[in-house]
Amino acid sequence: MRVLIIGASGQMGSDLCRVYQDREIIPLNHRDIEITDINSVRTALVAHRPQLVINTAAYIRVDDCESEKDKAFAVNALGAGNVATVCREIDARLAHLSTDYVFGGETPAAGIPFTEFDTPVPLNIYGRSKLAGEQMVSHLCHKYYIIRTSGLFGTAGASGKGGNFIETILNLCRIKKELNVVDDQVFSPTYSLDLAENIRRLLDTEYYGIFHITNSGSCSWYEFSRAITGFTGTNITINPVHSDQYPQKARRPGYSVLENYHLQLAGIDKLRSWQAALKDYLFKKGHISQEGV
């Protein structure tokens, strides 16, 4: 199978290339394809004729999306639609990466994760643009997988964000004695390598539709920070604070935990806990010894 990966050098794309290394991979980056230009998309996909396209490209700077609405929708919605259109033209299957931020504006029952059958109500421009992208994919491509995930971290780091939350916390620990981290935003941290491996399991099927894929369990950013410093033995005080004490341009969901319900219906096992995934990440990055895993 010929697999074309858009955004191949990014955090998610790097791990997808790793798990598909036994297949014929076509790794494309921004210099190779401009997803906001359908002619660029058509030229690239027609030239390579992949059987499967995985689109990881997105504008992910959540706060910047508030002031750069046109760019957010151009990349996350129009770009997704362009890829979907050409995939239909060449009869390729499409896997499109989305986000838990399509949720958050609802009034959910406390502590009940969102399934694929819940209606998304985004809180911010990033979430709205990603939801619009999902809708474009589902309307324009007949063989698609929309994959929502949450709190992604990977060894390559997110190029659009300049790293990831784990490395940011560890870097801050080197220069500060105390940190304030929000404790009223609950999500499911997800290791990009675990996500990539389970995306491959899913894409080996023809169970098309929307899928949530996250590591098991949930926590707040404060609890995630405590786990990072706890596993690495970092001595620092971390204070829990509410979101209103840490103002940002874009509102974040207070609760965006995803239940991998459709994945279970497809017969694919639950992913390991986010704690186990975090330990694995910290070991691979050299932050802890093998004995700590």
pLDDT at 202: 97
Q: Which residues pair with 190 in a beta bridge?
A: 152
Collect contacts of 106-114 with beta carbons under 8 A, ≥24 apart: 108/255, 110/255, 111/255, 113/188, 113/218, 113/257, 113/258, 113/259, 114/212, 114/256, 114/257, 114/258, 114/259
Bridging pattern class, strands 190-191 and 152-153: parallel
pLDDT (tens digit per residue) in 107-141: 656 689 999 999 999 999 999 999 999 999 999 99
Q: In whole numbers, what is the pLDDT of the chain averaged over residues?
A: 94
255 counts as catalytic = no
One of 20, 59, 101, 126 is an active-site residue; which one?
126
pLDDT at 160: 55
How far apart are alpha carbons 114 and 116 in whole angstroms? 7
Q: Which two tokens stand for residue 14?
A: 């790097």
pLDDT (tens digit per residue) in 15-49: 999 999 999 999 999 999 999 999 999 999 999 99
Cβ proximity of 159 and 8 under 8 Å? no
Res 293 pLDDT > 70: no
Res 161 pLDDT > 90: no
pLDDT (tens digit per residue) in 46-103: 999 999 999 999 999 999 999 999 999 999 999 999 999 999 999 999 999 999 999 9
Q: Report the topology of domain 2-162+188-217+257-272.
A: Rossmann fold (3.40.50)
Res 173 pLDDT > 70: yes
pLDDT at 184: 93
Confidence class for position 289, pLDDT limits 50, 70, 90: confident
